[in-house]
Structure 1
């Protein structure tokens, strides 16, 4: 991983002593180079990778997640792959920001809520919001971030900005500088530095709290509306499934009734009747719908021992003799003229070739279990004009 670090030098205030005469400048040797103060503060320019989280990066670099958000101009804790972040780094010689006495620094744990933390420390949610006016939500807390808990005096907790003083903040909120200094345990306000936290006693962030409550209510309503729509969609889908199942069951009952009472029209040989393609067989599956969730059966299945000879049901020309890519395995199709065809599937071996003429009763192959088959049998179809018909209507 390639990391770029952008450093900035902090200005060191010059010390002035009225009782000391300024020293004459000491000439430097030509080879001597004057070096400025050592680096004390900087930023790591980091490119977000898959799996990175704000809390994880803050823990890795030992900084508050909110400082990364402020440095990088983030509006919330969500990160995107490829996004560039400025992670602030503080030199070990620089003291951490000063926290007023009575204010506890709490590191947010997974599962924490603002209400839960307030109850645990015996303070109100408004007190927590006043001590953390940069909060963006009453419901969502970033694990690993810092939360300030006012266990002593309650009030508004602000960060002292560049060029600001305690007296400036006190005057801005109409408070006595002495009162503010006492609440912060400060004897000399000049000791405070930019970045230190200042507690303004008695000041509450009511407007911020009201805005957060309004945002919480809007998000709650949005969640309820999304859940209502989801439940409606689930009910609609369930009703559609019930309707489809009822239709399928009704159709299955009708098909079963037809199978139980087949209406077979017997056709004589003179009208184009056929002979059975096997001898010594047992019908295992009839023509038609087999169940609500099974494919429509386009022929009849005749179970017989492996290798039983299969004969032509009627004289005709061999149209197809070979392997099928749609589950028939080794199969033969005979053309009997007038748009009438017969199909013989799942053969173990074929005894004819395409183009041959065969007479009714002539052997064309042998029973097998090739293709989509679960045991040795002959799948026999009759097609008229390309449409599958019930073979029992054409057999004696």
Structure 2
């Protein structure tokens, strides 16, 4: 918790009201997180992360959002860690923790240091609670893992036979993206059907699986955000043409992915 609070404290409180400098924003009528991020000049993903928001990033009128802004200092000849701390009027101990400095406070020319803000305990506690209390949604928001058309749809019968996911038509080497944010729990060879397979845990019993990959670009235990690459499409396993087999499962049971994703552009 101490490390989390200090990490949050690296965000600087510059003011309020001006979209270019405000660090707290109260959502107004008709506002979206994307619009707020664009006006503030801060990446949407950064605002979402510090406020514990998940896709589709819905916000409500009157909701208070923290806008993370960060100062940095690039070390120049003659700089010392203590001198940098004094220059920015921050406790040396916080500067050291924020940047992982050793006991000697050694820094090197060209090193970029995070300058932690001196924040009130109430501000730190409020941000910490927003992040700590963020929970996986009951039903994750799923985006399409590939933009190609569906070659074979979901058709699972009561006896467990049939097709338990969607097969997307792909070109060899196409990017395959995570359908939702989560943790990679399997990334390797599955010899009976998929060849190369990635499985992501999205919390609350939700998982997605991505099969027939030509290569895997993530590792087990890695956190991956929605839309990030996890591998490249291929024809590994029993596939006879480049494709992506995609599954959504809840508590181990297959779920039809089609109704849970946005329709393909152009459909």
TM-score calculated relative to the size of structure 1: 0.31
If asked which structure has higher relative contact order (CA below 8 Å, sep 6+), I would say 2
Return the structure number with greater helix share: 1
Based on CA coordinates, which of the two structures has the bigger radius of gyration? 1
